A and B are shown apart, each in its own frame.
Chain A
Amino acid sequence: MPINENNLIIQNGPHLRDAADAKSLMRWFAVSLIFPVAAGTFFFGFQALLLVAVTAVSAVAAEAAFQRLAKQKVTIDDGSALITGVLLALVLPPTFPLWMAAVGAVFSVVVVKCLFGGLGFNIFNPALAGRAFLMASWPVAMTLWTRPFDSVTTASPLYLARIGENVPGYLDLFLGNRAGSLGETSILMILLAAAFLVWKKVIDWPAPVAFIGTVFLLSFTLGHDPLFHLLTGGVIFGAVFMVTDYVTVPVTTKGRLIFGFGCGLITVLIRFFGGFPEGVNYSILLMNIMTPVIDKYSRPRIYGEKNAKKS
């Protein structure tokens, strides 16, 4: 067959591309969320699944509506709004009122993401900023924890530890048989999701490892049970799903290590010296603010760069 020269594409190299594109990365990330959603549904029942559905639908609908009104290209097919919606549900109490959750999802997508320019331009992790917004708006509902299976109101393990009460054992904490946010309780399922994401090369290790390592070492140094502090609250969940958010964390390996360390440090400071029993949410949001400056000063050394600083 002769070459049809009218078909020839003139384009700069590289002429071949890696198979992973933005949509496939988002798709695999969304797939990994099935693990914590399944765990939440198992422990907290159908209402948990309903909460996930409500925030997911609200988030996607909010993005579509905003972009339609702003006369922008509707980009809900990139999957990022769906992920934001599901992530928000996963960091809420399982019995959280659905309408409040919907408000949170709309805030996450419209205020935190779309108003900053959409995908790639938001400064804060949308789901975590949405959670902070809900915390400020309905603090009572946001701290109403329930026991798995029977939905009896109880306190979170971190709060129990703070007031010196008995806490669940390591195995229950690991499997997820404890009060807590919908998706954060089952460490097992989160680790399975993490393995999946690493296998699919969606997330990389620096920020999560630095985050978890810092919490572990600082808890130990300050005389607390380091394992307990990893297994409770949102450290593992945040390490796997939040500090791996591309948009709001630094781009360099060094930067991601610094970011993870900062998150660990602030989490520990809040847990041991702050006013809240849990600090993962605010630690990540505070480090999100630091991202541009970390990016600026964590750039790799340039090959052949002279020692003298360029003006």
Chain B
Amino acid sequence: MKSFSRGIHPQDSKERSAAKPIKEALSPRKVILPLQQNLGCPCEPLVKVGDEVSEGEKIADSAAFVSAPIHAPISGRVTEIKYYPNACDYDIPSIVIEATDAVDKVTRPGSRWTLEELAPEQIRKIIREAGLVGLGGAAFPTHVKLAVPKGKTVDTVVVNGCECEPFITSDHRVMVEKAAAIILGARALAKAVGAEKIVVGIESNKLDAYKAVNFEGLKVRGGVSVVQVKTKYPQGGEKMLIKALLDREVPSGGLPSDVGAVVCNVATAAAAAEAVTHGLPLTKRVVTVTGPGIKEPQNLLVKIGTPFAELIEQCGGTVGNVVKLIMGGPMMGIAVPTAQVPVVKATSAILLLTDQEVKVEPEGNCIRCGRCVRSCPIGLTPNFLAEYAKTGNWQGAYDYNVIDCIECGCCGFVCPSRIPLVQYFKLAKNAVRELKLAEKKAVCR
């Protein structure tokens, strides 16, 4: 079965929620919408306190290219525009909307189209206006990916159905229940970038998802292949998946389009289909609420902006002593300080871990066991990088390619000395970028 080099095999823990159909969560009375929910630039509000907004209305946007607008997930009144805690820790205000009892009306940014009547440029515009970002967790604006730089051609759209993070099953359920939308969305994206081929990669631990997507893929005569890939972390990393499916390597510092590929997550593809065929903006997404700390794990279809606490309550509340509340999975997820943080576009899961699983252990000396080296999917030597980061040897960190680190956390997972390797690398990457910027300036002078 296709895969990449090295990586790790953590327990996937998906059995808690894998078989549970997507259930619509109760519509929240109040939503909190941070003005930045994507990589890139934050939005400016288009509404002010006191304004009435209707579901689907665009309420914030930005003139910057790498950005995505935000739409009202519920109809109601804007009550506040101020800072609220958010999982990404962007220091940025949120728009708060409180539901009014007026009858919900849905605003559509566009109308219903069929794929055939749309030109590539139109598709890109629809997707931008729908506020689409990568729903796998990185939240990179989708329309930016679709704007292929001049001089490069994209021949393949890679659809990422790996969901390699343990515990999370939201993509899994989307694949089982919305396979047709995924294929349609992928075709829209392919048309937007002028790619002839669509390859969907699904980890081998999701056979029902593979069958469902493959069934829909076969309906499209030619151009779509659905492939099972090895269940291994981080198979869903963009670079790892391109290697596995296309046997191409994204150059260090480059983008997938450098090797003729655009990668999008299955949920993003499904959302793209809704935007294109129904004119629906991105205002809800599937979130897996799971972990040993939750009574009844579920896959919920959630309005963006819903506070975590409401969803935890709808899953029967917590069990045991919850010590980590995580947005995302256990490998790359973000630990949040309060259950009041809202679901954002990037929230694939809410994971509750108790004191039974989470052990706070002091960092020990590196014993040079080499496990990190054997786990790194990029081929880095994390033990040396950590040493450089600790001693502030940024040039050393640069020479040993710290910039190529994808922060997947394999090294930190296997490290027997419990060294917080990813944390060191984040530090080192920032320092290296500054160092290189300073060098560049020095040369220019």
Contact = CB atoms under 8 A, between A and B. Distances in A.
Interface of A: 1-5, 7-18, 20-22, 24-25, 78, 118-121, 204, 246-247, 249-253, 256, 295, 299-306, 310
B346 to A, nearest CB: 14
B47 interface: no
B245 interface: no
A2 B337 contact: no
A143 to B, nearest CB: 33
B443 interface: no
A16 B330 contact: yes
Interface in B345-391: 351-353, 357-361, 364-370, 373-374, 376-381, 383-384
Interface of B: 5, 8, 10, 166, 239, 243, 249-252, 254, 309, 312, 317-326, 330-339, 351-353, 357-361, 364-370, 373-374, 376-381, 383-384, 399-401, 404, 409, 412-418, 420, 422-423, 426
Contacts of A14: 330-332, 409, 412-413, 422
7 contacts: A12-B420, A13-B334, A16-B331, A120-B365, A299-B381, A302-B404, A304-B250
Given A15-B358, A16-B166, A252 B404 contact: no
A118 B417 CA distance: 14
B252 A15 contact: no
Contacts of A300: 373, 376, 379-381
Contacts of B239: 303-304
Contacts of A10: 335-337
Given A12-B423, A13-B330, A22-B416, A118 B365 contact: yes
A220 to B, nearest CB: 30
B265 to A, nearest CB: 19
Given A13-B412, A300-B380, 12 more contacts: A1-B317, A8-B338, A12-B426, A18-B413, A119-B367, A204-B374, A251-B373, A295-B381, A301-B379, A303-B5, A304-B249, A304-B252
A305 B400 CA distance: 12
Q: Which 8 A-B pairs have the closest CB atoms?
A: A251-B370, A14-B409, A300-B379, A120-B365, A246-B369, A12-B423, A16-B330, A22-B416
B43 to A, nearest CB: 26
Contacts of A15: 324, 326, 330-331, 333, 335, 351, 353, 358
Nearest to A7: B323
Nearest to A1: B318
B401 A302 contact: yes
A1 B321 CA distance: 8
A249 B383 CA distance: 13
A279 B34 CA distance: 68
B317 A2 contact: yes
A311 B243 CA distance: 26
A68 to B, nearest CB: 18
Contacts of A204: 370, 374
A295 to B, nearest CB: 8
Contact of A2 (B318, B364, B414, B426): B318
Contacts of A24: 416
